[in-house]
Amino acid sequence: MEHIFCDVLVVGSGAAGLRAAISAKQKGLDVCVISKQAPGKATCTILSAGVFAGTEKNKSSGHHLRRTLQAGRGINQPELVKVLVEEGPMRLKELKKWGINAEFHRGYLFCKGRAPYRGREIVQCLLTKNETLGTQFISGQLVTDLKPLEEAFGVLAYSPGVDKWLTIGAKSVILATGGAGALYLRHDNPKRMFGDGYVLALKAGAALQDMEFVQFYPLDLQRRIEILLGAQAASLIIQAALKRKESRGSHFREDFSDQDDDNWQGHLQVKLSRNGEANWNFRAIS
């Protein structure tokens, strides 16, 4: 069985893992990134719509903080929202400096990748930066065990393609294994997003928090009735987008380019009458 050693082992090569590896490398450490597939492949990051929010131009970070807490109905963790709001704009500037192929509008970053891999540009940018810094990559390996030892971690990984095991010793391990969307029958995540990192962390003695929050879009239309419902939903989504008279996040409208929180921060509600007509309402966030 092969054995390797490094200062920092990063499990996962999506945006979180690749960015963490850059920080560790910049501290002069010996860093290795391991993932189930080739670096950056089969990640939510590469499949994402590639739109990332910073603070709106001409708006304060306090405004971004308030809006995010309000949208989270007060159940967000304020200290994490603070990190997001304070560091977000810095991270977007950093990506710009590192040459990401993206557009920047009013504090938001829009990757220029093509659907369904719009996030490819973010992966490419972070991978290139890692390559410049000399990060090592191990691909096609599934981390199965993580054991805290006295002064390091013992990690076991399996390569299903060649039926081989690998052991890794690392002074620190960063779990950046993404979510667990693929546990559901229909989802828009890569096929193997099973929440492995949750189990690895639990077994290593970490506490998990807020496991009930899972986000994905159930996009698969499998039967005719779903296609009909899907077509109706799509038409309502388009109508809802047209009803708004302002731009927000990725919903940029050239005809109404300003964000208008006073009049538009709220829920646009729709109810269908028996004859299929849509009745629209606007409800404030409570």
Nearest approach in angstroms of CB 185 to ligand FAD is: 16
Instruction: Quote the distance between the C-alpha of residue 158 and its chain's center.
Output: 25
Residue with tokens 């005809």: 255
Q: In whole angstroms, what is the distance from residue 107 CA to residue 41 CA?
A: 27
Position with the least CB separation from ligand FAD: 14
Does the protein bind ligand FAD through residue 52 (CB under 6 A)? yes
Binding pattern for the stretch 19-48 against ligand FAD, x by CB under 6 A and - elsewhere:
---------------xxxx----xxxx-xx
Residues 180-209 that bind ligand FAD (CB under 6 A): 188-189, 193, 196-197
Does the protein bind ligand FAD through residue 174 (CB under 6 A)? no
Please state whether the peptide bond connecting residue 116 to the residue before it is cis, i.e. omega within 30 degrees of 0.
yes
Does the protein bind ligand FAD through residue 15 (CB under 6 A)? yes
Rounded to 10 deg, the angle between the 61-71 and 78-97 helix axes is 130
Rounded to 10 deg, the angle between the 15-26 and 120-133 helix axes is 20
Binding pattern for the stretch 209-248 against ligand FAD, x by CB under 6 A and - elsewhere:
-------x--------------------------------
**Is the Cα torsion angle 172, 98, 80, 15 positive or negative in sign?**
negative
Structure tokens at 47: 């499949």
Binding pattern for the stretch 136-165 against ligand FAD, x by CB under 6 A and - elsewhere:
------xx----------------------
Query: How many CA atoms within 13 Å lie on the side-chain side of 10?
Result: 27
Binder among 8, 17, 55, 108 for ligand FAD (CB under 6 A)? 17
Binder among 50, 54, 88, 113 for ligand FAD (CB under 6 A)? 50
Binder among 13, 135, 247, 259 for ligand FAD (CB under 6 A)? 13
Residue type, 227: I
Nearest approach in angstroms of CB 146 to ligand FAD is: 9
Backbone φ, ψ for residue 159 (5° rounding): -110, 100
Structure tokens at 247: 């731009």
Nearest approach in angstroms of CB 139 to ligand FAD is: 9
Q: Which is nearer to ligand FAD, 34 or 125 (CB)?
A: 34
Residues 59-118 that bind ligand FAD (CB under 6 A): none
| 202, containing H or E segment | helix 196-203
Backbone φ, ψ for residue 251 (5° rounding): -90, 70
**Site for ligand FAD, rule CB under 6 A:** 11-17, 34-37, 42-45, 47-52, 142-143, 176-178, 188-189, 193, 196-197, 216
